[in-house]
Amino acid sequence: MSGSLSPVMVSPIVHRAAEAGVVLEADQWDALARYRDLILEWNRRFNLTAIRDPAGVEERLFLDALRLLPALDAVLSRTASMPPEVARLLDVGTGAGLPGMVLAIARPALAVTLLDATGKKVRFLEHVIADLGLDRVTAVHGRAEDLGHDPAERDTYAVVSARAVSSLPALLELAAPFLTLGGTALFPKSIDLDDELAAGRRAAPLVGMAIDAAAVLPGSTTRLVIATKRAPTPVSYPRRAGLPAHEPLGGRGAVPANRGGSRGGTR
Ligand code: SAH
């Protein structure tokens, strides 16, 4: 059993989170424990995530997401015109809700949209939202390539996150349209990132973004890429479904911004 804060958490996640500078209230740990149990229960019926044991969910899914909180808090506090209660966060390719659902539980003032292209995952997310009574969280079934052209969604998010969804150039193209000017993208990545980072740096300015940091998170093997929207994203982005991943921007040879709507090059 874990520490006295939460009798329902079965691993030392509470302490490990504290080491990462993350302290939650007891009811938030309880919500995470319930969410963990729902993931494990639904995973028996269909493939929600490859991780199938309680400690794995807590450490490899939840702790990884909780480690983003210091960066998220820094972004929200920097954006003085955007207090947490009006800020919106979009998690692209959220799957079973990672990291977006965990961030929503940890920061209940934040309005969180969880986007995924797979209907059964969105149905699971809707179940979790209802079960936990998360009235500031919305699950959306769709592709970022399509939703990114919706005027109600474009240029409206202070923060966009995405984990284990695509390469950095593709993530930048998918995230940028959703961000407000000055908004921030948070992409947790694995430690071995050099080639992808170089491609990301070439892709970023094409969609109005700049990569600010790609530091290893303390105590982890995650490199957190932090990118900011510096200029409006051209209306041609994101390109149609599949292109951001299959013809990533910033591939060999730079793609001029005014020609970037249809070609990308290879990596
Ligand atoms: N972020 C989660 C899930 C990763 S799996 C985690 O870290 O565990 C990748 C998910 O992204 C899948 O559920 C897939 O349906 C979704 N996805 C991939 N490309 C997408 C796109 N263009 N738009 C929306 N969802 C996408």
* pLDDT tens digits along 42-83: 999 989 999 999 999 999 999 999 999 999 999 888 765 666
pLDDT at 153 over 70: yes
* pLDDT tens digits along 72-118: 999 888 765 666 666 899 999 999 999 999 999 999 999 999 999 99
CATH number for the domain whose boundaries are 70-246? 3.40.50.150
- Quick one: pLDDT at residue 262? 35
Burial of 29 (0-12, 13-18, 19+ CB in 10 A): buried
Residue-averaged pLDDT of the chain: 89
Residue 247: closest CA among 177, 194, 169, 178 = 169
How far apart CA 147 and CA 154 sit, in angstroms, is: 8
Ligand 1 lining (C-beta closer than 6 Å): 49, 92-96, 98, 115-118, 121, 143-145, 163-165, 174
pLDDT at 263 over 70: no
Give the pairing type, strands 222-229 and 179-190.
antiparallel
Q: Phi and psi for 213 in degrees, rounded to 5?
A: -160, 155
Alpha-carbon dihedral angle through residues 161, 164, 167, 173, given to the nearest 10 degrees: -30
Mean pLDDT of 33-41: 96
- Quick one: pLDDT at residue 190? 93
Task: Calculate how far, in angstroms, residue 144's C-alpha sits from the geometric centre of ligand 1.
Answer: 10
Mean pLDDT of 217-237: 95
Mean pLDDT of 152-168: 96
- Quick one: pLDDT at residue 260? 35
Task: Calculate how far, in angstroms, residue 117's C-alpha sits from the geometric centre of ligand 1.
Answer: 7
**Pair of tokens at residue 259:** 């020609």
